[in-house]
Amino acid sequence: MSQSLPRQILQRARDIIADCNRWTRGAMAYSKHGDRCDPWEQDAVKFCSLGAIGRASLECGITGHASPLVLAAERSLADTINPHWLSEYRARNPTVAEALQSDVEDLAVHDVIMSFNDASRQIDVLAAFDKALERVS
């Protein structure tokens, strides 16, 4: 049985940042010249967790970073990092209009992942990916 695309994205993202020379903090991606860049740029060589998911999705043939398949991979990792992120977010933001809820929650997912990446050791980030991979089909 083949793996789902969200699982493929998570696995590829983990593979990218497993190399200590390709994992970073502080930006989604850095170019080979050390400049911040977007993870889908050809010049990008170092990635944070979220940037690695963006690069992996591109390598898996998904061109839109807001694809439901990419968002499923991101949510799986965020749920592993903090299973209560969504309820905590909603408690802090009770007045967000229902029509905007999904878009704002997607930003919250990004914040969970980037904050964890930037505050963690690489080994802990990889362990979070491993747990997310166990959970996603």
Q: Tens digit of pLDDT for each residue in 9-52?
A: 999 999 999 999 999 999 999 999 999 999 999 999 999 999 99
What is the per-residue pLDDT across 58-88, written as a single tens digit (0 to 9) for each?
Answer: 999 887 666 888 989 999 999 999 888 878 8
Beta-sheet strands, E only, within 40-125: 44-47
User: What is the total count of domains within the chain?
Assistant: 1
Judged against a pLDDT cut of 60, whether residue 128 lies above it is answered with yes
Name the more confident of 13 and 99. 13
- Per-residue pLDDT at 31: 97
Strand partners, 31: 44
Residue-level pLDDT at 1: 46
The whole domain housing 54 covers 5-135
Average the pLDDT over each of 26-35, 100-109, 118-127 and give the range with the smallest value. Answer: 100-109
Task: Name residue 46's beta-bridge partners.
Answer: 30
Q: Which residues is 105 bridged to in the sheet?
A: none
Q: Please count the helices (runs of H) and the strands (runs of E) in the chain.
A: 6, 2
Could you tell me which residue, 69 or 103, shows the higher pLDDT? 69
Question: Nearest-5° angle of CA 92, CA 96, CA 102?
Answer: 100
Give the pLDDT of residue 66. Answer: 67
pTM recorded for the entire structure = 0.88
Per-residue pLDDT band for 55 (boundaries 50, 70, 90) equals very high
- SS3 for 29? strand
Measured between alpha carbons, how far is 92 from 86 in angstroms, rounded to an integer? 10
Task: Give the integer Cα–Cα distance in Å for 68 and 45.
Answer: 25
